[in-house]
Structure 1
């Protein structure tokens, strides 16, 4: 059995699930999801249950066997692990960075994986299947359907601005920071020059800031959904736009990746983290434009 730790916001959970799906099909092992950490995690909730996913959840006994017993072994060899890129424990494997790690496929059974796995290289071979896995089980709310209709009637561009905890949480801000207004101006100019969009749809957790600062865009709609509407519907609406301008956020990353327009243009920021020494070459698909 292989167990994949699931934790973080919706975008992170989707990366972890896509990695798990890939491991299940590349190794032929039984792969299950560990969501137990959400019981002590106040920032986010487990959100994959609204999707048409097929992998099962691990029970506490299965998690204890692969995670807690072998985590102790992992810590004993942690010093040696720093001197090698190869896994020393075939039971507990923790991601070491944001680059694609081909060694994971050498571990075919009795493994607990912990990490974010933020690269499509892990799961691009299963894109068609994952598009089905990430279909919403239930229909859209009426408000979302109205936005969807407007999106489908135009050469639409989603523009995502992530602020929220990227601004209010000191630690999160120190890691991620926010995309500059100049980035968005450059991205809009690029789309206007290359795709001739007719309408921009603005998605943000700080629409007041967006309304104050995006007055340089004509033909604009600020997407405002009811607080009871799950985030999944906002991501779905992003994916229905013809093109995407994303933030340094896994949430809008998935909105763009789920976009099935064969001629889509996706603009992503070059600066994904404040620490520019972090290698993000594998994080952003090579077809996307980085500004």
Structure 2
């Protein structure tokens, strides 16, 4: 009989947090580790119970979906993050990093991939280097359970019939939240004009499909010389559909957003052009060198 409340049950538990793009990175990291070590992976979505802004979004995908019970998570409690001024010292001195792995960085930490269960993954893991070796499986996991209908299929048809370039403009909390505005920052018309200039030199007759969480601002401020379609029929509850539409485009212009990142990464076109910001985070001391895949163009 399996014992409870100790580490005799070997598994990988992944903490989910943030928006859909963040959750996809977290899942991909856990999935890769579970495949590498041939161990069961379970998801921990309990953080969304007290999150008024975010919710669990991975249920729309063909993922390996199994949730950790309170009993299974209990042994990890003594290792979890400690809030307050001393949390950094605690997490890096007392907490057992072989049992509770924390990612506070934006660059690849290869030692994480050597961990074996039981382990709890708490972080954002925002680089493909964690799951590149299993990218075909990850892409399959992130296919939709149900084929979109209606307006989504109408836009999809337009995308497939043109030299489509997805353009993602992230604003929302990057503008309204002072902390996020200072840490992440936003990219204005100049960034998108430069991206258009680069794209237009490389492909003929681009058709820009613009996705944003601030459609009104975008229509007044972001303009392209070539044909443009503003895709704004879906609300936040259908973010997965917008992500799917973005992935159908042949090329991409993205901001410093994990949502835009996944829209570009899921595109299987081997000749795709992806324009991304060189400065992913505004804070100079934060190393984000591994966020952008080598084949993408940064400006």
Q: Which TM-score bucket, shorter chain as reference?
A: over 0.9
Query: Which consecutive unaligned segments of at least 5 residues does structure 1 have?
Result: none
1:143: which partner in 2?
A: 151
How far apart are the structure 2 equivalents of 1:61 and 1:269? Answer: 43
1:135-186 per-residue CA deviation (whole Å, 9 max, x = no partner) reads: 1111213000000000111101011100111111111111111013211111
2:14–2:42 CA contact under 8 A, matched in 1: yes
Q: Does 1:69 align with 2:69?
A: no
1:196: which partner in 2?
A: 204
Structure 1 residue 214, shift from structure 2 partner: 2.5
Report how many aligned residue pairs link the two structures: 288
Q: Segments of 4+ in structure 1 off by > 6 A?
A: none
**TM-score w.r.t. length of structure 1:** 0.93
1:13: which partner in 2?
A: 23
How far apart are the structure 2 equivalents of 1:156 and 1:222? Answer: 12
2:79–2:96 CA contact under 8 A, matched in 1: no
Structure 1 residue 69, shift from structure 2 partner: 2.8
1:156–1:200 CA contact under 8 A, matched in 2: yes
How far apart are the structure 1 equivalents of 2:63 and 2:224? Answer: 40
Structure 1 residue 3, shift from structure 2 partner: 0.8
In the TM superposition, what are the counterparts of 1:77-96 in structure 2 within 5 Å?
79=89, 82=92, 88-96=96-104
1:36: which partner in 2?
A: 46
1:35-90 per-residue CA deviation (whole Å, 9 max, x = no partner) reads: 11111111100000110001411111111222x133389x9996376589xx8442
2:196–2:224 CA contact under 8 A, matched in 1: no
RMSD between aligned alpha carbons? 2.2
Q: 1:260 aligns with which of 265, 268, 288?
A: 268
Query: Which consecutive unaligned segments of at least 5 residues does structure 2 have?
Result: 1-10
1:289: which partner in 2?
A: 297
Q: Does 1:117 align with 2:125?
A: yes
Q: 2:228 aligns with which of 220, 231, 234?
A: 220
1:101-135 per-residue CA deviation (whole Å, 9 max, x = no partner) reads: 11112320121110000000000111111111001
